[in-house]
Amino acid sequence: MNNFGAGGEEVIASLGFSAEMAALRARITEWVMGCDPEMRAALEWQFVSGSKYFRPLTIFACYRSLIPGPVPDHIITGALVIEIFHNMTLVIDDILDKSPERRGRATMHTKFGELNALMTSGYMVAEGYLALGPDLQAIALFSELVKRLGVAEVMQWRLRRQLLGVEDWRRIAGEDTGSMFEICACLGDRSGRLRRFGALLGLLYHGCDDVGDVKGAVALGGGGAEDLRDGILTLPAALAIREPKIAKLFCKPGPTDADQAIIAAAFARMLPEAEAYLDRIADEAREEARLFSADPAPLIALVERTRKLSA
């Protein structure tokens, strides 16, 4: 779940970040080539998988919404490291989910084995911190991110198959995808002024991904079947389990295929309500952009694009 879908390049160009994105791609290539030869093949495999760089784009947009002109080098370094850390989380997710493929390609652990994938993910974290150099503010932000992502994953797993609600979904999603985009906003604005905007954008992204999974939107990276099987609280799930019969099936350990079909149908019935809820989150994000940025246009463009992910 890390791309912009079709037309990503057009979005980058329309936001005026073609030069910055070219610089970022060059930095990624340079970084991979400079890594230890033992790790290089796995890293090349991971980093040529067609990311549309939504997180770096969020960093650039947050910067540009406060300060006009080209994005400076230390902000581009932050974008490089967010891509490294994001890919680290994908490697770990794929191992945990036992996913053989991501976006139509073999996952790192499938191609290189679990040991290599685990060791490479640790290597990526160390390399990321090294790339930040003396930027103490960015180091603090990345430390916050890694801690929050770890806590969110543990919390999400502990709370699976439980009778929770939309407010609980907001908290889990806010710590999972929300924390990633919150940190992107802070890496871009360097003041905390757009932190809340980032949190809302992440929440919107997470919710659109949940809804997109139910709609079978494979372009978002899939994962819906695993969430349903594992009883993960998605936005459609939080709405559907208000119905006692569905709640009982959702909380049942080891649901049968027939149970899962009934739950999936209930999720599908909740799509209009879920979409309306996402519209409200998008409204909140737009309002934050208008209130706290000098030029909200790049931020609003991100919101519009994200909102379309579930359409």
**Ramachandran class of 113: left when φ > 0, alpha when ψ lies in -120 to 50, beta otherwise:** left
Q: Per rule CB under 8 A, is residue 141 in the interface with other proteins?
A: yes
- Of 13-21, 85-93, 153-161, 190-198, the window that binds other proteins (rule: CB under 8 A) is 190-198
Q: Judged by CB, which is closer to other proteins: 43, or 141?
A: 141
The amino acid that residue 259 corresponds to is: D
- CA-closest candidate to residue 159, choices 150, 149, 172: 172
Q: Judged by CB, which is closer to other proteins: 14, or 191?
A: 191
Q: Per rule CB under 8 A, is residue 143 in the interface with other proteins?
A: no
Of the candidate residues 133, 192, 225, 256, the single one contacting other proteins (CB under 8 A): 192
Q: Per rule CB under 8 A, is residue 167 in the interface with other proteins?
A: yes
Q: How far is CA 154 from the centre of its chain?
A: 17
Q: Per rule CB under 8 A, is residue 283 in the interface with other proteins?
A: no
List, in sequence order, every residue forming a beta bridge with 202; answer none if it has no partner.
Answer: none
Contact (Cβ atoms closer than 8 angstroms) between residue 184 and residue 62: yes
Q: Per rule CB under 8 A, is residue 72 in the interface with other proteins?
A: no
Of the candidate residues 3, 110, 116, 137, the single one contacting other proteins (CB under 8 A): 137
- Of 38-46, 112-120, 229-237, 285-293, the window that binds other proteins (rule: CB under 8 A) is 285-293
User: Which residues lie below 8 Å from residue 98, measured CB to CB, with a gap of 6+?
Assistant: none
Q: Per rule CB under 8 A, is residue 74 in the interface with other proteins?
A: no
- CA-closest candidate to residue 47, choices 114, 121, 144: 121
Could you tell me the two tokens for 154?
A: 């543990």
User: Which residues lie below 8 Å from residue 274, measured CB to CB, with a gap of 6+?
Assistant: 207, 210, 211, 214, 235, 236, 239
- Of 120-128, 153-161, 164-172, 207-215, the window that binds other proteins (rule: CB under 8 A) is 164-172
User: Which residues lie below 8 Å from residue 19, measured CB to CB, with a gap of 6+?
Assistant: 70
Of the candidate residues 196, 219, 226, 269, the single one contacting other proteins (CB under 8 A): 196
Three-state DSSP at 175 gives helix
Assign 3-state DSSP to the chain and report helix, strand, coil percentages, each to 5. 75, 0, 25
Q: Per rule CB under 8 A, is residue 242 in the interface with other proteins?
A: yes
Q: Per rule CB under 8 A, is residue 140 in the interface with other proteins?
A: yes
Q: Per rule CB under 8 A, is residue 295 in the interface with other proteins?
A: no
Contact (Cβ atoms closer than 8 angstroms) between residue 164 and residue 233: yes
Q: Per rule CB under 8 A, is residue 166 in the interface with other proteins?
A: yes
Q: Judged by CB, which is closer to other proteins: 4, or 142?
A: 142
Residue 114, classified by CB atoms within 10 Å of its CB into exposed (0-12), middle (13-18) or buried (19+), is exposed
Could you tell me the two tokens for 21?
A: 């994105």
Q: Per rule CB under 8 A, is residue 307 in the interface with other proteins?
A: no
Q: Judged by CB, which is closer to other proteins: 122, or 165?
A: 165
Three-state DSSP at 140 gives helix
Q: Per rule CB under 8 A, is residue 64 in the interface with other proteins?
A: no
- Of 54-62, 70-78, 188-196, 266-274, the window that binds other proteins (rule: CB under 8 A) is 188-196
Of the candidate residues 190, 206, 286, 307, the single one contacting other proteins (CB under 8 A): 190
Size of residue set near other proteins by CB under 8 A: 20
CB atoms within 10 A of CB 276: 9
Give residues in contact with other proteins (CB under 8 A).
66, 137, 140-141, 163, 165-167, 170, 186, 189-193, 196, 242, 288, 291-292
